[in-house]
Structure 1
Amino acid sequence: MASAEEGRDFKDSMKYESARLRSFIGYPRDGAIFAIRYAKAGLYYKNEGGYEVHCYCCGVTIPKLSEFDNPAMIHRNMSRNCPFFTRNPEVNVSVTNDEEKCGNFKLTSLLTSLNQDLGYLERGMPPSGAAQRVTTTTRNNEQPIAGASNAQSEAARELLLKKKKLIRENKRLKMAEMCVVCLRQETSIVFLPCGHLITCEDCGKGTHMRRCELCKTVVKGACKVYKC
């Protein structure tokens, strides 16, 4: 009885896109860049090793994908009757709506936290190893500081880490805004009535786009979004 209740509680928690995204903190580094696309496709990571991801609605298991694969389309093809697609508004809460229902969890801070825990201070190195290799530099010419006090060294190191953090955050946010179809241009078209912002203008207004690539709702209209 308890296990059944735990299963329901887990399923309820995974309906939040932010919760699915957090599940990828333990995902292998060379596949972590797909975490956002997996989470948007209703998939989460069990943290059992390997690359397999799972749907919290239908339970389908999807193996490691390549950078050219579309997780949402593959999920749809493997499980056409999955509630994530047939009843998306009822069973899925996107990151945008999550801010009100999950303690005001911002996408920016979520991605930054995920990025740090995955160990990307330096590519392929854990955070602790990367921090040990940071060289103390001067403000002007970035040459090693000779004889600097511990306080000065720590301040210089923190400055470098903050700079790297901002660069990583910027890259993550840009990736989150990429069109899920062409993966080259930023999203700018909102589908109606589902409200998903997942494609660029070229892909979103194409004659082939009859259904939303994420939830498969019939597209009755499209609206261009202008970002400040």
Structure 2
Amino acid sequence: MPTDTQAGRADQPFRVFLVDDHRVVRSGVAAYLAMVDDIEVVGEAADGQEALDRIAVLEPADALPDVVLMDLMMPGMDGITATRRIKARWPAVEVVAVTSFVEESKVRGALEAGAAGYLLKDADADEVAAAVRAAVAGRMHLDPAVARILADSTRAPQRTGESLTRRQREVLLLIAEGASNRQIAETLVVSERTARTHVSDILARLGLASRTQAAMWAVQEGLAQGPR
């Protein structure tokens, strides 16, 4: 979801930080993001620890990135660990995993660590830009192959909508429509913090890792029709 800071600088480019152990990959991503008007690359790092250190330097200048594009497979601190630490220290900074691998354990690990999206490294510039914009808006952007893995993993028979309260079912329907936490709060006339708590409780009750899985589950169970 957009933070107050992001809302206040809506006319400025979204700040993106690149993390990948291959310099050529970082250079390539930076080059094609440079052609996107509403995105600015503000830093890069070769591993998770370096990313934490360099992002910390940006904090005193009120220049934290809006989104970190995070490679998962790196020497030293890997991307999942770095994602978890970034989200713990800077909750407003979104992370999108960018990797060559489509393994359920990696997908689940990244999403459970707090990633707001999952892309493959062969994604084109438009898709990367779309993932950045979605993350800033509080939405999830997934490569189709990753979405299929998550859809398959939601087919556990022990999960039932009967375990949800009436309000949680209302929130689940809004999640399935693609609503952000802010939009859920506005629709239900509650605070954003309350909306976020409802989403967390729904994921815990259903045993799911992300709001994207929750949306897919709701559609598969016939409780919702999905994003409009």
Question: TM-score surpassing 0.5?
Answer: no
TM-score, length-normalised on structure 1? 0.25
Decide which structure has greater strand share.
2
Is the radius of gyration larger for structure 1 or structure 2? 1
Decide which structure has greater helix share.
2
